[in-house]
Amino acid sequence: MATSAFQNKLNDLERRLQAENESHRRDRTPRNFGLHIESPRRQRPTGFGPTISRPGSAPPHTRTRQRFEWATSPQTTKPLDSVDIEQKYHEIMKQAGILHFNGQKIKSKIVDLEPMIELGQGTCGHVVKMKHKGTGHLLAVKQMRRSGNKEENKRIIMDLDVVIKSHDCSYIVQCVGYFITESEVWICMELMSTCLDKLLKVLQAPIPEKIIGKMAVAIVKALHYLKEEHGVIHRDIKPSNILLDENGVVKLCDFGISGRLVDSKAKTRSAGCAAYMAPERIEPPDPTRPDYDIRADVWSLGITLVELATGQFPYTNCRTDFEVLTKVLEEDPPLLPSGSGFSSEFQSFVKECLAKDYRKRPKYRKLLDHPFIKKYETADVNVAEWFAAVQSKNTSIASASTHQHR
């Protein structure tokens, strides 16, 4: 590959990332509709501890995401266009303003939610911890701004569409309802205790293999469910999109840049997070057909597992996305370090996830049959007990007992 051609490809991807980031900056800021949140960006998120700089983390990316019955239209396999977006808005409007708590439907308004503190940023909105005044239930509310930006509106629809349809999957964060106004969409979700990115920052140490094993089982099953049941690829797998609660339950979240699969291929090119991006997404083998499939998410899962197991992002000494992308393409894929006590099953699983040639990388059915997944699918591992011990040793993680819906 000529150096100039290689450089041009990376420059093109970097421009796309910057364009998406600028779009998010313009359109992410929501209106408060009379609700006052005192300087939420300056407050410390309850349960997540202070903002800590973690050595060896991925370079800062400038783009910082209850069961109920939902009447859905037949699944479409084509990418959403402007007509689809408006039609889906009309469909979901029918159940807007209804919250589902413990099997009960409660008609609510935005003013019935009391903002408490900001929890974090998603792909097209920010998430605020709120309390439903009538019941006292605590929620994680993702606030997204409707705009004239077609791509932003498409992300909002994808986020809503996936979480609503996934009410029967225990490995995906549950939606309890939503609100839609002329300028905003609020998705009300179950409140989890933390995300794995913030957990790593508090720990300042690796997560034990047995805990990662249980986490891997949950994430692979969530991704397999999305593909098989809804024809969806996540496209943004990373520690900040994997959530944990005090009961040791692990769930996947943030579907704002998820994509529909057409003939098992993703046809659109939303960038996602560069640090976890698969080689074939950076440099498509056939530039005239830059399609990719679920194995791109398998790569992102592999990078995530290495980060969790070692406590640091595997591509070290990178200050920018551009430097990470260059290393992904030019260097051998990361592996779990030998002599560090990792089981052969874990090392094999990561090696298969991080096969640089996507054709040699397994899909979910094969991953579910891997000895590492089989082992931890049945292993007696108390994730809740481990997390409770982490909380007791790290006072910066507040008790998550109030985070559960009772």
Of the candidates 236, 254, 293, 297, the residue annotated as catalytic is: 236
Strand 184-189's sheet: what is its strand order?
A: 113-121, 126-132, 138-145, 184-189, 175-180
Q: Which residue has the tokens 């943030």?
A: 254
Residue entry with tokens 């995906």: 172
| Pairwise CA distance, residues 122 & 119, whole Å | 10
Active site residue 236: yes
Measured in whole angstroms, the distance separating CA 119 from the mean position of its chain's CA atoms is 14
CB-based contact 233:291 (threshold 8 Å): no
For residue 351, count CB atoms less than 10 angstroms from its CB and return exposed for 0-12, middle for 13-18, buried for 19 or more.
Answer: middle
Burial status of residue 188 (CB atoms within 10 A of its CB: 0-12, 13-18, 19 or more): buried
Q: 179, exposed or middle or buried, with CB in 10 Å at 0-12, 13-18, 19+?
A: buried
* Distances, alpha carbon 260 to alpha carbons 232, 249, 252, 268, 406, in Å: 5, 27, 17, 9, 35
- Give the list of residues 6+ apart from residue 35 with CB closer than 8 angstroms, or none: 110, 111, 113, 114, 115
Rounded CA gap, 120 and 41, in Å? 9
Helix (H) or strand (E) holding 179: strand 175-180
**Three-class DSSP labels, 31-46:** CCCCCCCCCHHHCCCC
Rg of the chain (C-alpha set): 20
Task: Transcribe 197-209 into DSSP letters.
Answer: HHHHHHH-SPPPH
Catalytic residue IDs: 236
